[in-house]
Amino acid sequence: MTIRFAIEKERPLVKPVVGVETLESIDPQLLEDSFVYVHCHFDNPSDDMLIRIWRTTFLIDPQTTTRSQLVHAENISYAPQWTMIPKGDFTFLLIFGGLPKSVQVFDLVEEIPQPGGFVVRSIRRNDTDVYHIDIA
């Protein structure tokens, strides 16, 4: 199975509301930093596909190799668990720690010990740090 990625430019850039329980589960030192929100949209062509995200998913500045760690994921399970998704449009949210202000372009990389990890290259930085990515 081949997964292709494209950055969605037509969706409105809106920061999501993060629940109190989610914020309480995050290390207090991370709350002082800004966050990067990556909304992932997937049009699932088949019935009952399985999907998951590994905690070894990062935003990486290709210039300096600076990494921003995945802090929280919504609507997708962490490996080794799987999320079964129905046919049609499926969306999940990844929240990362802030990137240095000097980063203009970054990559989303899921580093896993097997083929098939998410990789989205050359995501252009914006002022809101909210991104919509189509997984095709």
Q: Is residue 130 part of a domain?
A: yes
| Nearest-angstrom CA–CA distance, 106 and 104 | 7
pTM reported for the whole predicted model? 0.75
In a domain, 84, yes or no: no
Work out the burial of residue 134: count CB atoms within 10 Å of its CB; fewer than 13 is exposed, 13-18 middle, 19 or more buried. middle
| Residue 122, in any domain of the structure | yes
Domain count within the chain:
1
24 — phi, psi (to 5°)? Answer: -65, -25
Does some domain include residue 131?
A: yes
In a domain? residue 67: yes
Write the pLDDT tens digit of every residue in 30-56: 544 589 999 999 889 988 899 999 999
Query: Is the confidence at residue 3, as pLDDT, over 50?
Result: no
Supply the range of the domain harboring residue 68. Answer: 1-9+21-48+58-72+95-136
The verdict on residue 83 lying in a domain is no
pLDDT of 56-68, one tens digit each?
999 999 999 999 9
**Tens-place pLDDT, residues 76-128:** 999 999 999 999 999 999 999 999 999 999 999 999 998 888 899 999 999 99
Structure tokens at 131: 């991104």
In a domain, 3, yes or no: yes
Is the residue at 90 inside a domain?
A: no
